[in-house]
Structure 1
Amino acid sequence: MRKVLESEEFVYDGDDLGATYTKEYTVFKVWSPVAESMKVVIYDDYKDSVGKVYPMSKGEKGVWEFKLYGDYKNKYYNYRVTINGVEKETPDPYAKGATVNGEMGMIVDFDSINPEGWDEHEIPAPIKPTEAVIYEMHVRDFSVDEDSGIKHKGKYLAFTEKGTRGPNGEITGLDYLKELGITHIHLLPVYDFASVDETKEGEYNWGYDPYLYNVPEGSYSTNPYDGTVRIKEFKEMVKALHENGIRVVMDVVFNHTYTTGNSPFDILVPKYYYRTDSSGKYTNGSGCGNETASEKPMMRKFIVDSVKFWATEYKIDGFRFDLMALHDIDTMREVEKQLRKINPNILIYGEPWTGGPSSLSPTKQLKKGKQKGMGIAVFNDDFRNAIKGDNDGEGVGFVNGGAGLEDEIKKGIVGMIDYSSRIKGFTKEPTETINYVSCHDNLCLFDKFEKSNPNATSEEREKMNRLALSMVLTSQGIPFIQGGTEILRTKHGNHNSFRAGDEINKIDWSNKNKYRETYEYIKGLIALRKSQKVMTLDKAEDIKKYLKFIEAPKNSVAYLLTSPYEGDFKNILIIHNANREEIEIKLPLEGKWSIISNEKEVNVEGVNGAYEAVESVKVAPLSTYILIKTN
């Protein structure tokens, strides 16, 4: 019987599941072919524990329906479903709003909730994927530091505050993001997740624990009880970021649910939405106790419907898929196709791995290399490991003492394309690689270097941090920075801080002053990257044409970018020196070169001191030098 529900007879393709509100009536539709009866319960407000019950009628394809006359704007509702003689109540998986902890879904009238100017607010101009600079951030981490100068600590509204100042009068918050120059902020889960209790202030979790996928998380709002508040404040955050030139990427976790048995999916259609083995046990490809079955028509539909909803209703500019290899390739193709119709420039990327052995056939898993030509990017752990070594151990990479890694680094620099017989990776085009050295998972960069290089001086480790980030920001592909690494963020050695609380996870804004040089350096590199088309090529053939490696001593890599584009520097020479001593590089073209980046600063007018080089250049230890030749 397990496959029966996957037959054409039970596949519903309408776009009206959930509660569709109008002033005159609301239509409820819910898919549950196995239900013996279905009722919708209407609650006046979040304090109403009795509700009014209405029977629903079963239509085609296993969809139950009820039309409720009257204006039920922003009231709450749940379903009561009877299966095998047992009645259970659940929120609607398609609910677009909810009260505290997702206890009841909400009949949403978005027009009555939208912040002023929402519909016509200005969205940043379209850019190519390779022109993006992604900055990963958790909502609480961003503002919760007592010295952040931000009023709405730990809330969506923190991202709307202008003119905030931290220790030493340093710029923090929204103005900081703008000053740094990033193009996209990637927010850790902001849909409704089940691992914090919204009735308690200050609980902490990363949020990879989905409950209601189409509802904003309530703990980041100023009032989790009233379902309108989280919607409005979430949109105020998106609007403020957009109006300051920053696009918003949402971290989505469709690969598992927080629990099984009592999840809305399982209450309505037991076990359908999950992968199970031949004895009916949940399989665990996520490492979280279950994995959803994207290959089943109604789960695939749910994923596609959900991202379409966020991209249209909330004007989300990109999606990052958690454990994307657990989603079958056809589902991700459909996601890409539908999202491009809404926004041709939308960013789609994800993790090309699973969290454990999956029952999805390996041929269908979206692993590294399978994304070729799909318009989807994947995290490049090859480049990450080549740069810094392993994630949590004492292993070393190119910047912190590894040897013989030059070719691995070159693969990352060319965006993992098929560049030559020795230098080739897993992409068809550079738009398919997310280049990064750290993210929320595992040790952050500062802690990794403390662990792998305990005998290095703190100054050397800061240089390693800078060198690693400079490689991410100068390579072809899509650069991704873990928020705070540009000011040497530490989590005090905690490699899995998903529920370690604010003290471990928060951005310590005093670091901005403490590590000002590194901050200014990274800011300078971001500005340089954004100003040079040749640093953001989106075609493999162009990389082969305009990027040439030149001879360099061991543990260093040097290459020449020759730009055909107006507004670019004609020739850019980039040198990464991972040695603990100075090296000398013979310049590839005769005449004068200006040094625009050294170990201390980035300045397109030429750096302090030695502005020019002829014939050769001396490159300081553990540093990236960039030289330009304009004529």
Structure 2
Amino acid sequence: MISIKRDFYAYLDEMSVITILLPFSYHEGLSSLFFIMIGDQNKPLFIKEKMVLEESIKYICVLPHTVDFGQTYWIIDEHHNQTDLQIGAVIRTSEFDTLFFYNGQDLGVTYQPHYSMVKLWAPTATGVKLKLTSPNGQQEIIEMLREEKGIWKVTEDKDLEGYKYTFLVCVNLRWREAVDPYAVAVTANGAEGVIVNLEKTRTPKPVLPPFEHPVDAIIYETHIRDLTIHPKSGVKHKGKYIGACELKTFSDETGKTGLDYLKELGITHIEFLPVNDFEGVNELGDYSDYNWGYNPLHFNAPEGSYATNPSDPYSRIMELKQLIHSVQQQGIRVILDVVYNHVYNREASSFEKIVPGYYFRHDEFGMPSNGTGVGNDIASERLMVRKFILDSVHFWTQEYDIDGLRFDLMGILDVETMNSIRKLTDQIDPTFLLIGEGWELNTPLLAEKKATIKNQAQLPRIAQFNDQFRDVIKGSTFSLSVKGYAMGGNGNLAQTKMVIAGSISLNEKEKGIFLEPGQSVNYLESHDNHTMWDKFNKIVNGDSEEVLRKYHRLATTILLLSQGIPFLHSGQEFFRTKSGIGNSYNSPDGINQLDWERKQKFIQDVEFIKGVIELRKSHQAFRLRTTSQIRSHLEWLPLKEPLLGYRLKGVKGYGEWSEIIVIFNPLNSCETVQLAPDGLWQMLLNHEKVGRTAFKQLEKNSITIEPISAIVIGKLR
């Protein structure tokens, strides 16, 4: 590294504008002349503006012509001192973005057994070197050559499989070592990239059952470690990728567990919390660390703590692929949770080391913005940031054969990026699911450009987590004492009807949240915040556990019988508890593990939810695909509040039943509802039984609904 003492500072802030800061301690911050050294000539700068700051004087100067990036320039003042011209805010200008946009598909390592090509995008660097370490520990430093669009390249004519590698990058006279942002394999704890032959890890993707529309999905969210770490899970490789796909796992105290259980439950998609390499868990540790995985380190390499051998770069790749394909062999699709909105540590990230200041948003004062709450926001609207995200999505989709993505804090990302992802995945698989958290977050991006629920009209085939559904049915997530509809809360019944009907507008007078039901991910709980069971226990008023179970089961039943995309948190069906902890991102296994003994304790409730899932899947009327279909077929019944009921009429073309009635009773009392004498109705669901086949015929034109329960009846013609 070149050592330089800077008496004053100069920054390239626009293509032809330099900002110079003279501290008061340096000639009282005064100067009337500045020059830029180009070759062996000093060219004068025009001082456009001068401002007095708290500790220095700021000079805005205009360049006689633009500079060539990749070279070091010197600024000289009237006192004959000099300082280097540092890369400043120019990298956040549209001119810079356009000038250095690279559309090639070969960033990172292109491996072949007889040669490897390595490319890095580092347009502001004045030097880049490739640091290679052979499998036997021999190290060499190789100069990389600068090409157009800020690309640095080197080709090695030998087999580099198993070599570790990093980049040495010089920006603003400072050399920093960074791991390749495009690395697909890394060493333990992500210290270095590793060159691997991905061809060795590939196996054919299993053939999956047909899947036609997002509302046909039933998503089940889980965490690799939570799923199997319980002492009595019956899983051999607890907490590992390959443990999550073990079959025939059970114990006498738990019954079926793991993947066998999930297949039997009837879900269509399993969503895994982040599996890309993250901080927060020592991959060589002893399971004393725990983390959900929202601390992204390397976006294209799997996490090593879930691998049987974190020190073997192939282990994590092959075992994650084994998990994905094993799940798909059971007819279940795989969604991965991805975190493209921030990095774990901005300053230490490869992005910041390689192109300082480019990948992250900054506020009006030049400080990193913090809409994510973790200290940095990814600037997805910049061309090479968007490209990185698209390249990463393409990599995971093609290399790991996944079937969907869930975007953490999607509201940080921009509309154009998300729609570009939709277009990309459509080319690979039109049934690919894209879902995300469209929360409004305080990041310096124009409101109309954010991928938020408010802008859902601009994101027609991307589904968003529906927090209104969650809070209307369950009760406020953040005010634990507030009851939702399922607990008999006296909320807005019109809003309750709206979210049950897909959160769309049923007529011109009502305003919906979404344009189409396939945009609404209906959920009651997820990894975040308190589980529903823990919330209900916080507000219990002398109610017995049996009553709480009824409230909980009613809420989940409403979820599964609502229009839109149902989403279940793992263990929700057996009243998952985290001992009252609302943010368990780094809590121990005793808090986060799926308690399979609890599943067996509440097996009757599990069987009931399994039956509701079966009922939903048996008739498409429970999952109408368009707003026009819902408006045509769903009709609300005039019931005594707070009972809610709707009739699905004229739905013979969607399943066995020509008409279906669904009624919810959140009251702790029996309620009787009169039915029109218009045919023979048969029971499909009541307080104790449910299935796709009717189990009872109604003998009169009234029906009694048990306390805190639902009924579903169907008519054949």
The residue matched to 1:178 in structure 2 has which SS?
helix
Q: Which residue of 2 aligns with 1:323?
A: 409
Q: Which has the higher contact order (CA 8 A, sep 6+)?
A: 1
1:14 is aligned, of 100, 104, 118, to 104
Task: Letter of the 1:190 partner, please give it.
Answer: V
Listed as ranges, the matches of 1:587-626 within 5 Å are: 587-588=675-676, 590-607=678-695, 611-626=697-712
Alignment of 1:210 with 2:296, yes or no, is yes
Task: For 1:364 and 1:452, locate their aligned partners in 2 and report how far apart those are by CA, in whole Å.
Answer: 39
Listed as ranges, the matches of 1:457-536 within 5 Å are: 457-536=544-623
Alignment of 1:138 with 2:228, yes or no, is no
Deviations 1:383-441 (A, max 9, x none): 11111111141111101131143211211121111212554312111100000111110
Q: CA 1:552–1:423 in structure 2 vs 1: closer, same or farther (change >3 Å)?
A: farther
Aligned residues: 623
Q: Which residue of 2 aligns with 1:36?
A: 126
Alignment of 1:62 with 2:150, yes or no, is yes
Task: For 1:456 and 1:122, locate their aligned partners in 2 and report how far apart those are by CA, in whole Å.
Answer: 48
Listed as ranges, the matches of 1:256-275 within 5 Å are: 256-275=342-361
- Structure 1 segments, 4+ long, off by >6 Å, are none
Task: Letter of the 2:165 partner, please give it.
Answer: Y
Alignment of 1:151 with 2:241, yes or no, is no
Q: Which residue of 1 aligns with 2:395?
A: 309
The 8 Å contact of residues 274 and 293 in structure 2, kept in 1 or not, is answered as yes
Q: CA 1:294–1:613 in structure 2 vs 1: closer, same or farther (change >3 Å)?
A: farther
1:98 is aligned, of 186, 191, 205, to 186
Alignment of 1:544 with 2:631, yes or no, is yes
Task: Letter of the 1:17 partner, please give it.
Answer: L
The residue matched to 1:157 in structure 2 has which SS?
coil
Identity %: 38
The 8 Å contact of residues 254 and 600 in structure 2, kept in 1 or not, is answered as no
1:110 is aligned, of 174, 191, 198, to 198
Q: CA RMSD in A?
A: 1.5
The 8 Å contact of residues 42 and 53 in structure 1, kept in 2 or not, is answered as yes
Higher strand share: 2
Listed as ranges, the matches of 1:335-374 within 5 Å are: 335-354=421-440, 356-372=441-457, 374=460
1:3, CA displacement in angstroms?
3.8
The residue matched to 2:524 in structure 1 has which SS?
coil
The 8 Å contact of residues 91 and 358 in structure 2, kept in 1 or not, is answered as no
Task: For 1:192 and 1:388, locate their aligned partners in 2 and report how far apart those are by CA, in whole Å.
Answer: 34
Alignment of 1:451 with 2:549, yes or no, is no
1:613, CA displacement in angstroms?
4.3
Task: For 1:379 and 1:150, locate their aligned partners in 2 and report how far apart those are by CA, in whole Å.
Answer: 32
The 8 Å contact of residues 594 and 613 in structure 1, kept in 2 or not, is answered as no
Note the residue ranges of structure 2 that are not aligned, 5 or more in a row: 1-12, 14-88
Task: For 2:231 and 2:363, locate their aligned partners in 1 and report how far apart those are by CA, in whole Å.
Answer: 49
Q: Which residue of 1 aligns with 2:30?
A: none
Q: Which residue of 2 aligns with 1:298?
A: 384
Task: For 1:102 and 1:120, locate their aligned partners in 2 and report how far apart those are by CA, in whole Å.
Answer: 28
The 8 Å contact of residues 196 and 204 in structure 1, kept in 2 or not, is answered as yes
The 8 Å contact of residues 233 and 254 in structure 2, kept in 1 or not, is answered as no
1:85, CA displacement in angstroms?
2.2
The residue matched to 1:186 in structure 2 has which SS?
strand
The 8 Å contact of residues 122 and 152 in structure 2, kept in 1 or not, is answered as yes
The residue matched to 1:544 in structure 2 has which SS?
helix
Task: For 1:28 and 1:532, locate their aligned partners in 2 and report how far apart those are by CA, in whole Å.
Answer: 53
Alignment of 1:72 with 2:160, yes or no, is yes
The 8 Å contact of residues 146 and 153 in structure 2, kept in 1 or not, is answered as yes
Q: CA 1:121–1:421 in structure 2 vs 1: closer, same or farther (change >3 Å)?
A: closer
Task: Letter of the 1:227 partner, please give it.
Answer: P
1:4, CA displacement in angstroms?
4.2
Task: For 2:454 and 2:669, locate their aligned partners in 1 and report how far apart those are by CA, in whole Å.
Answer: 37
Note the residue ranges of structure 1 that are not aligned, 5 or more in a row: none
1:578, CA displacement in angstroms?
0.7
Q: Which residue of 1 aligns with 2:657?
A: 569
1:81 is aligned, of 169, 183, 190, to 169
The 8 Å contact of residues 167 and 509 in structure 1, kept in 2 or not, is answered as no
1:34, CA displacement in angstroms?
1.0
Task: For 1:196 and 1:369, locate their aligned partners in 2 and report how far apart those are by CA, in whole Å.
Answer: 36
Q: Which residue of 2 aligns with 1:442?
A: 529
Deviation larger for 418-427 or 75-84: 418-427
Q: Answer with 1 or 2: which has the greater Rg.
A: 2
The 8 Å contact of residues 96 and 105 in structure 1, kept in 2 or not, is answered as yes
Q: Which residue of 1 aligns with 2:62?
A: none
Task: For 1:555 and 1:233, locate their aligned partners in 2 and report how far apart those are by CA, in whole Å.
Answer: 50
TM-score under structure 1 length normalisation: 0.96
Q: Which residue of 1 aligns with 2:496?
A: 409
The residue matched to 2:168 in structure 1 has which SS?
strand
Task: For 1:233 and 1:110, locate their aligned partners in 2 and report how far apart those are by CA, in whole Å.
Answer: 13
Task: Letter of the 2:305 partner, please give it.
Answer: S
1:566, CA displacement in angstroms?
5.4
Q: Which residue of 2 aligns with 1:247?
A: 333
The 8 Å contact of residues 248 and 317 in structure 1, kept in 2 or not, is answered as yes
Task: Letter of the 2:279 partner, please give it.
Answer: A
1:594, CA displacement in angstroms?
1.2
Task: Letter of the 1:194 partner, please give it.
Answer: E
The 8 Å contact of residues 166 and 510 in structure 1, kept in 2 or not, is answered as no
Task: For 2:271 and 2:513, locate their aligned partners in 1 and report how far apart those are by CA, in whole Å.
Answer: 24
Task: Letter of the 1:27 partner, please give it.
Answer: M
1:195, CA displacement in angstroms?
1.6
Task: For 2:604 and 2:710, locate their aligned partners in 1 and report how far apart those are by CA, in whole Å.
Answer: 14
Task: For 1:566 and 1:326, locate their aligned partners in 2 and report how far apart those are by CA, in whole Å.
Answer: 39
Task: Letter of the 1:21 partner, please give it.
Answer: Y
Task: For 1:235 and 1:110, locate their aligned partners in 2 and report how far apart those are by CA, in whole Å.
Answer: 11
Task: For 1:573 and 1:121, locate their aligned partners in 2 and report how far apart those are by CA, in whole Å.
Answer: 38
Task: For 2:394 and 2:370, locate their aligned partners in 1 and report how far apart those are by CA, in whole Å.
Answer: 27
Deviations 1:475-519 (A, max 9, x none): 110000011010111001000000001000000001122111210
The 8 Å contact of residues 91 and 357 in structure 2, kept in 1 or not, is answered as no
1:165 is aligned, of 244, 250, 256, to 250
Deviations 1:250-290 (A, max 9, x none): 11111110001110000000111000123321110100111
Task: For 1:225 and 1:279, locate their aligned partners in 2 and report how far apart those are by CA, in whole Å.
Answer: 43
Task: For 2:184 and 2:676, locate their aligned partners in 1 and report how far apart those are by CA, in whole Å.
Answer: 59
Q: Which residue of 1 aligns with 2:465?
A: 379
Task: Letter of the 1:332 partner, please give it.
Answer: M
Task: For 1:621 and 1:465, locate their aligned partners in 2 and report how far apart those are by CA, in whole Å.
Answer: 13
The residue matched to 2:453 in structure 1 has which SS?
coil
Task: For 1:63 and 1:588, locate their aligned partners in 2 and report how far apart those are by CA, in whole Å.
Answer: 73
